[in-house]
Amino acid sequence: MQIRLGDLRKLIREELQIAASVDSSRIAGAGLFADEDIDAGTSVFKWNPQVDFEYSREYPDSLPPKESDEFKELASWDGETWSLAGDGAAYFNHSIEPNVVIDGHDTTPPAKRNRIAARDVRAGEELTMNYHEIGLDSP
């Protein structure tokens, strides 16, 4: 299925659910930054299978070693499958005190759960997550 650019932008906006942009991060490389104030409890990210992708346990083994390592750095492992965000959500940087957390009421695998603001976030602030919540460890 082919997606037009306008449709892709709409899907990304629906997934992130807040206005955000990618910029240089003091944490690591590039990061995702709030373009608006976000109240605590606001939905920030929603998994969308048209933009995000799921891979089998064996998929990284089918890649050359360097690509396999890169894939594992970018993807999340939930104990059954690999998940890879295909939009700006891939730019959440890690923090042990994140301002975005997994919605505890969602029962889907961690990488596919909705994410909500853990506290009030101000425009211009980098959006962070604790990677351990979404399956940092690989099999």
pLDDT 10s digits, 92-135 = 888 999 999 888 766 666 666 778 899 999 999 999 988 877 66
DSSP 8-state assignment for residue 125: P
Enumerate the β-bridge partners of residue 55: 82
Domain ranges (residues) in the chain: 5-134
Q: What is the secondary structure of 48-80 as a DSSP string? A: -TTTSEEE-TTGGGGS-HHHHHHHHHHSEE-SS
CB 27 within 8 A of CB 93: yes
- How many residues belong to the chain? 139
- Rounded to a whole number of angstroms, the CA Rg of the chain reads 15
Per-residue pLDDT tens digits for 58-82: 888 898 888 888 777 777 777 777 8
For residue 55, give the amino acid letter.
Answer: Y
Tell which CATH classification among 2.170.270.10, 3.30.499.10, 1.20.1440.230, 3.30.530.20 matches the domain 5-134.
2.170.270.10
How far apart CA 122 and CA 35 sit, in angstroms, is 8
Q: Write down the pTM of the prediction.
A: 0.66
